[in-house]
Amino acid sequence: MKSIVIGSGFGGIAAALRLKAKNHDVTLIEKQNDLGGRARVFKKNGFTFDGGPTVITAPYLINELFELFGKNPKNYIELVSLNTWYRFIFEDGNKFDYSGNEDEMKNQIEKINKDDVKGYEQLVKFTKKIFDKGFIELSDVPFDKPLFMMKQFPTLINLKSYKSVYSLVSSYIKNEKLRRVLSMHPLLVGGNPFTTTSIYGLILYLEKKWGIHYSMGGTGNIIKGLEKLMLEEKIKILKNSEVTNINFDQNKIKSIIINNHKELEANNVICNADPPSVYEKLLVNKKTNIFFNWKKKRMDYSMGLFVYYFGTKKVYEEVEHHTIKFGNKYKEHLEDIFDKKKLNNDISYYLHRPSATDKSMAPEGNDCFYVLVPVPNNQSNINWSVEGDKFKNLVIDKLEKSLLPDLRENIVEDFYLTPDYFEKELNTKYGSGFSIQPKFSQSAYFRFHNKSEVYDGLYFVGAGTHPGAGVPGVLSSAKVLDKIL
Ligand SMILES: Cc1cc2nc3c(=O)[nH]c(=O)nc-3n(C[C@H](O)[C@H](O)[C@H](O)COP(=O)(O)OP(=O)(O)OC[C@H]3O[C@@H](n4cnc5c(N)ncnc54)[C@H](O)[C@@H]3O)c2cc1C
């Protein structure tokens, strides 16, 4: 059985390995000259910048890929668990250190609002119920049958999936600062906490269940370990190879075309490339399916990301590994990004400092960072070649005032990525950071199906398909594929 995987994000790599374990003849095809997709690595003058994912949760999903072939993951990757998961910083300068230590969590909640401790305990209990259903039971099963979706409705309603994550959290927590902290998880998978279905509240519990981990040498070392495993298992890997067409014979998949000229035949094609782009650009013999076209047309896309990577000659010892800083007008800011599609100066951001845990990420005596700022996706009319430098300067000004004094004069290496990178280099529609949004109307059956609803032999894994974005989500999508094929 010949299977071709298009794209080498975590989802694509996991799919290639799972199919290889079923004895398929697997070829993995990647447009870039390196693997990883959003998890690519940029190395500059002794600094190692992980391009995207930095917070590793549910590590068993990564370990499973090695275990499929009887290999010990520890021989390929080194994951360490972190004590402080996120340091939240509010506009008034107050801090909240978020961790898996429940006593410490309650102490800090008590300092902000003692009446919220009980609500917090109840919230955690409720997110466990969502987690048991949404993650344990449903994250790795196919959702391509309407009847199966309908069967889930009573439980989903019981779990209040009609509420947003923010509204669910607010029903337990009174203090606005704590509401923001405990409802921020949708932002990690491309959603607005004010509109994302409360089902994504399960991430709060998922973190508690398995902890938050860091991959020594960076997340890129996981990709490196998986690449080594794929080569050992004789998966063919083609880099610098963009799939430009997928061909069908009648309704059955036939072949793909690489870089507009080279044809490779296949029984199955598994797309890790963004589903809307695949349906619009790679399928030449278009079939019509009115319901599917309507569904695709009304999709809402996740936000864009401005990611500024920088190395400094000063070491900022007091800065945690993961910091999240909220702007003042948080809700309005998110509305500007998701709905009005305009830039707002009152930014909220996530600051990554891997050198807090792993000195190998920067040359000795230096420090390594990236700062991720949610921005509108390319449905906006922002011209990033004009706005990019201005926005970078705004971000540096904000960082200097809060966490990194004298930053500008200490930067020795820097570059940034905008939604244009995600659109042009990673082929993601509108340059969104996480494909389509994780709304109820775009989740499970309503998301792009793992087995194409239109073409035979065509399958999807990765952020735009069920269960959704984030490393655990895309690794689970490959488990769904495993069950379908
Ligand atoms: C800045 C950032 C930070 C993040 N932080 C976290 C985090 O801390 N924790 C977490 O769990 N998640 C995080 N995420 C989300 C997570 O990284 C993604 O959801 C996940 O990695 C996406 O994986 P994927 O399988 O969908 O593939 P992608 O990473 O999207 O890769 C798709 C690949 O397909 C290739 N491709 C596309 N079209 C073609 C074609 N026609 N031919 C050949 N190749 C093609 C692309 O080049 C790309 O390599 C972050 C994302 C970003 C952007």
The mean pLDDT of 419-425, rounded to a whole number, is 98
**Is 80 exceeded by the pLDDT of residue 112?**
yes
Instruction: Identify the pLDDT of residue 292.
Output: 84
Q: Tell me the pLDDT band of 355, cut-offs 50, 70 and 90.
A: very high
Ligand 1 contact via 372 beta carbon (within 6 Å): yes
- Stretch 392-419: mean pLDDT: 98
**Probe residue for ligand 1, chosen from 38, 49, 214 as the CB with the greatest number of ligand atoms within 8 Å:** 38
* Domains parsed from the chain with CATH numbers: 2-80+214-299+436-484 (3.50.50.60), 304-424 (3.30.519)
Tokens of 378: 């390319």
**Residue 289: per-residue pLDDT:** 78
- Atom 15 in ligand 1: residue holding the nearest Cα: 470
Give Cβ neighbours of residue 119 (< 8 Å, ≥ 6 apart). 172, 173, 174
Q: What's the pLDDT tens digit per position in 118-133?
A: 999 999 999 999 999 9
CA end-to-end distance (rounded Å), the chain: 11
Q: What is the per-residue pLDDT for 283?
A: 86
How do residues 327-354 score in pLDDT, each as one tens digit? 988 899 999 999 999 999 999 999 999 9
Q: State pTM to two decimals.
A: 0.97
Say if ligand 1 is within 6 A of residue 275 CB.
Answer: no
Is the CB of 4 within 6 Å of ligand 1? no
For the Cβ of 467 lying below 6 angstroms from any atom of ligand 1, the answer is: no
- How large a percentage of the chain has pLDDT more than 70? 99
What the block records as the tokens of 210 is 């398995």
- Is 423's C-beta closer than 6 angstroms to any atom of ligand 1? no
Q: Which two tokens stand for residue 92?
A: 């008034």
Evaluate: CB of 471 within 6 angstroms of ligand 1: yes
Residue nearest to atom 27 of ligand 1 (CA): 9
Among 298, 281, 223, smallest CA distance to 16 is for 223
Q: How do residues 265-284 score in pLDDT, each as one tens digit?
A: 999 999 999 999 999 999 86
Question: What pLDDT is attached to residue 154?
Answer: 92
pLDDT in tens, 31-50: 999 999 999 999 999 999 99
Residue 461 tokens, joined: 């894994």
Query: The dihedral of CA 6, 8, 11, 14: what is its sign?
Result: positive
| Residue 371 CB less than 6 A away from ligand 1 | no
Give the pLDDT mean for 384-412: 97
356, with CB counted inside 10 A (0-12, 13-18, 19+), is buried
Q: Cα separation of 140 and 148, whole Å?
A: 14
Looking at residues 369-389, what average pLDDT do you find? 97
pLDDT at 285 over 80: no
Per-residue pLDDT of 424-456, as tens digits, reads 999 999 999 999 999 999 999 999 999 998 899
From the CA of 116, how far away is ligand 1's center (Å)?
37
Q: Which one, of 88, 87, 91, lies nearest residue 401 by Cα? A: 91
Q: What is the pLDDT of residue 3?
A: 98
Q: For the chain, what is the mean pLDDT?
A: 96
Q: How far apart are CA 438 and CA 427, in angstroms?
A: 19
**Between β-strands 79-81 and 262-265, what pairing exists: parallel, antiparallel or unpaired?**
unpaired
Label residue 230 by pLDDT band (50, 70, 90).
very high
d(CA 429, CA 427): 6
383: pLDDT strictly greater than 90: yes
Residue nearest to atom 52 of ligand 1 (CA): 52
Residues in the chain: 485
Q: Is 206 in the pocket of ligand 1 (CB under 6 A)?
A: no
